[in-house]
A and B are shown apart, each in its own frame.
Chain A
Amino acid sequence: MVVSISKLCKSYHRGGQVIPVLSDISFDIAEGEFLALMGPSGSGKSTLLNLIAGIDQPDSGSIVIGGVDVTQLTETELAHWRALNVGFIFQFYNLIPVLTAFENVELPLILTSLSRAERREHVTMALKVVGLEDRMDHYPGQLSGGQEQRVAIARAIVTDPAILVADEPTGDLDRVSAEEIMGLMDRLNTESKKTIIMVTHDPRAAKKAHVVRHLDKGVLTNAHSQDTL
């Protein structure tokens, strides 16, 4: 699934003031690419990620993913599109604390027509991929940060989306856990051919990406392939 971003602009309005966040962003992401978006705080990288993932709307420009311009979709269409095409990994995991690991991973499947047995099969498989099949009955509060993030990754991949978006996936983890998570994401990219778009401040995490793009004050500065890092 190719992502094509063209002339993307986004600004926020605060107290009658217009604050530009992204200015005239254009670039493509190839199918199966592992892209890292880097830049200082407030540079607009998370906003760009949100726009690509269809959880925010730009002021102008287009984002065509797999032939669909997601900027033209309605809220309902976007919700449906996200459920089918995008898996989300957040910095603070964003698991539902009253649900077990199994139930958290099962959440996106509730929206599908899968039977209970099929859902169980998918969830077990996803938890196996992240190495947590033995923790499926644990609540998030009973897991370490790294384990929570792995559950979040299982939730992101359980519907088998083409694109994974990750916003600072290692930002809240210690070095060992961060390496585990990045190893897992690398495997998902190389073995499962997932297109991964990741926002990170961490150069070690960015090393796993094929391409690194830098944003500064809402402007795309340059792109490096893995070799040039």
Chain B
Amino acid sequence: MHILKILFKNAFRHKLRTGLTIISITIALLAFGLLRTVIDAWYAGVEASSAYRLVTRNAVSIIFPLPLSYKDRIRQVDGVSAVSWGNWFGGIYIDEKNFFANFAVDARTYFDLYREYAIPDDQRTAFMRDRKGFVAGRKLAQRFGWKIGDTVVLKGTIFPGNWEFVMRGIYRGRDPNADETVFVFHWDYLNETLKKAASTRVDQVGFYMVGIRDPARATSITDAVDSLFKNSYAETITETEKAFTLGFVAMSDAIITAIELVSFVVIIIILAVVANTVAMSVRERTNEYAVFKTLGFGGWRVAGLILGESIVITMLGCAFGVAATYPAAQIFGKAMGAYFPVFHVSPGTLLLDVAFSFVVGILAALVPIYRTLRMRIAEGLRMVE
């Protein structure tokens, strides 16, 4: 007879109670896993950012543009390998609820700088040839059922009017963190259309994406770029892509903190549930633990039986919780795809699930163990369920 068999038999003496406890743990860990995945999704852009890219924007605010002429001066900075630029377009597809990120980008340089986006050569060529062409991420194309050659109209918000585009390519992410929900089109198309409207916004870009050869030199390059435009009418701030993305995420810091708090509260609640179950079970079996001690089982062996039972219950709940997290995350990710382009359950989240379950199993058993160790055998033997 193995001790493990005793642990399982003890754990399932009250099948209903243990079953309900395991279901509680499963639901709690499912909630915990999803909340952690939401936090991960929030930071997915940060994780996906490349150390080989810097972002240069207007020092006053991202909403103020920079002159197109800066591109040549930035390119000449020592350590810079490539320069691309773009504008946040902010177009709406049919309805505001169909939100997705859409940018006007310099088509000649963009995909060379964003190598994590894989686009077939023929599609890229077709995109380059068609000034009204656009390329969408795989998930975005799937979401709206777009196919190559389809015409898509976006209603401009920052740049008024109805803007017509033709789908010329679909890109895929080379790694799981790559955002596959972005819509990019020719910056030239935007700029030339603005020219026709005699707008003052011609030859103005929202931001520059700067490729660098050595991430270790990022600080000196950012300083060098910014010093080029010091005291100009449009001073710049250059930062690593990671810092740039983190700046956006920081705006929703309070929400993330709240989600993190809720995720830990879930763990505390489940600790109370498991502690209650274990305490009830051990209390009902005080007599049996006294028998174990009488037979020569030392205090720590008895403690091991209680601890083991508690861990069996929590780890079973953990296993079911982890198993349920994957399909739940898929459903959640599909439903919230517009807001969380990357929604994957990370190994870190699973590790946290397992670690917290283990810790809950240990903590829940502490008080019953303490009581059982302190119990005098003669007193325990007198207790009958």
Contact = CB atoms under 8 A, between A and B. Distances in A.
B296 A80 contact: yes
Given A47-B378, A90-B381, A96 B288 contact: yes
A98 B377 CA distance: 21
A8 interface: no
B97 interface: no
A99 B1 contact: yes
B295 A98 contact: no
A98 B10 contact: yes
B291 interface: yes
Interface string B121-141: 000000000000000000000
B10 A83 contact: no
A228 to B, nearest CB: 31
Which 6 pairs across A and B sit closest by C-beta, in order of nearness?
Answer: A83-B296, A98-B9, A55-B377, A79-B298, A56-B378, A94-B291
Contacts of B376: 56
A79 B9 contact: no
B344 interface: no
Interface in B11-49: 13
Contacts of A80: 296, 298
Interface of A: 47, 50, 53, 55-56, 75-76, 79-80, 82-84, 88, 90, 92, 94, 96-99, 103, 106-108, 110-111, 155
A53 B291 CA distance: 13
A160 B257 CA distance: 63
B331 interface: no
Contacts of B277: none
Contacts of A84: 296
A24 to B, nearest CB: 20
A75 B381 CA distance: 17
Contacts of B292: 107
A15 B248 CA distance: 66
9 contacts: A56-B376, A79-B297, A80-B296, A90-B381, A94-B288, A97-B13, A99-B1, A99-B9, A107-B295
B294 interface: yes
B154 to A, nearest CB: 67
A103 B384 CA distance: 21
A50 to B, nearest CB: 5
A76 B293 CA distance: 10
Given A55-B377, A88-B295, 16 more contacts: A50-B377, A56-B377, A76-B298, A79-B296, A79-B298, A80-B298, A88-B294, A94-B287, A94-B381, A96-B288, A96-B291, A98-B9, A99-B6, A103-B5, A107-B295, A155-B295
B335 interface: no
Interface in B113-127: none
Interface of B: 1, 3, 5-6, 9-10, 13, 287-288, 291-299, 301, 376-378, 381, 384
Contacts of B13: 97-98
Contacts of A88: 294-295
Contacts of A82: 294-296
Nearest to A119: B1
A88 B290 CA distance: 12
B294 A55 contact: yes
Nearest to B288: A96
Given A55-B378, A99-B6, A111 B296 contact: yes
A106 B1 contact: yes
B109 to A, nearest CB: 71
Contacts of A94: 287-288, 291, 381
B295 A108 contact: yes
Contacts of B293: 55, 79
B378 A50 contact: yes
A84 B296 CA distance: 8
A45 B245 CA distance: 79
A148 to B, nearest CB: 13
B296 A108 contact: yes
A152 B374 CA distance: 26
Nearest to A80: B296
B381 to A, nearest CB: 7
Contacts of A79: 293, 296-299
Contacts of B3: 110
A53 to B, nearest CB: 8
A116 to B, nearest CB: 9
A72 B299 CA distance: 18
Given A50-B378, A111-B297, A92 B288 contact: no
A107 B293 CA distance: 11
Residue among A80, A94, A99 with max Cβ neighbours from chain B (10 Å):
A94
Contacts of A106: 1
Given A47-B378, A55-B378, A99-B9, A92 B295 contact: no
Contacts of A97: 13
